[in-house]
Amino acid sequence: MTVLDDALAFLTDPASWTGSGGMLQLLGQQLLLTVLALLLALVLGLPLALWLGHLGRGGFLAINVAGVGRAVPTFALLALFVAADPWDVTGGLFPGTATAGPLGRAGVSTLVALALFALPPIITNAYTAVREVPAEVRESATGLGMSGAQLFWRCELPLALPLVAGGVRLALVQIWATATIAALVAGPGLGRVITDGFYRTLYGQGIAGAAVVAVVALVLELLAALGQRLVSPAHLRA
């Protein structure tokens, strides 16, 4: 049998998907990790970027901090967090032991590393989106007597949403694809199938895991593209 035949056999074997450590469980772990990391990145980065964009200040800082974030390897952050084990203050409540929490022992470290990895596209797009609102729109709103808050909520944010959504879309796919590195520190997700397959020379298993990651990435990209389209003005949806 070829490697591709082995991969197909692994994917079509019900035993590969069910039970503890099965593909369905690992898929659920990686989806949970991805969603939580994205939400954390949004909470940390989006309000600040929108606020700076509205003020028209701090652009140099926002863009360059985002640039530094791109330059730091995610795996380096992950390895640092795991080695330092700063999350043990929870007493095992969230990652804790191998059985505590849905994401396992390395869950929090992986979550934080992925959230930091997602900040650059979110911050850059959000700041740029607000700053690119036409000056005449701001002038018209000010002339109508709108306050700063009204200007932001009624004019700037609606016009900025498509580009903001583009940053979220990029961050989502990046997090999902990068989350597989969690397996290198005994973290959750489909990376376990890939690393275990290649480590044990079960190349079909490794390729099967990679194929599932790729397919889900395409699905997430399509869903995110649909969401971005829905928040875009009607004249831009054609």
Give me the mean pLDDT over the 104-129 stretch.
82
- The confidence score (pLDDT) of residue 139 equals 81
Q: What is the CA radius of gyration of the chain?
A: 21
Residue 80, domain CATH: 1.10.3720.10
Rounded percentage of the chain residues whose pLDDT exceeds 70: 76
Higher-confidence residue of 63 and 164: namely 164
Over residues 180-208, the pLDDT tens digits come to 887 777 778 888 888 888 888 888 899 99
Q: Is 29 helix (H, G, I), strand (E, B) or coil?
A: helix
Burial class (CB in 10 A: 0-12, 13-18, 19+), 63: middle
Average of per-residue pLDDT across 62-77: 65
Mean pLDDT of 212-223: 94
Distance CA 105, CA 107 (A): 6
Please report the pLDDT score of residue 83 as a whole number: 60
Provide the pLDDT confidence category of residue 145 given band limits of 50, 70 and 90. confident
Residue 1 is predicted with a pLDDT of 60
* Residue the block writes with tokens 């390897």: 73
Structure tokens, 237: 């949806």
Q: Does residue 50 carry a pLDDT above 70?
A: yes
Of 135, 137, 132, 90, the C-alpha closest to 109 is: 90
pLDDT one-digit tens code per residue, 53-69: 888 777 777 677 666 66
Confidence of residue 214 (pLDDT cuts 50, 70, 90): very high
- Domain count along the chain: 1
Domain of residue 79 covers: 3-236
Average pLDDT rounded to a whole number, residues 16-22:
84
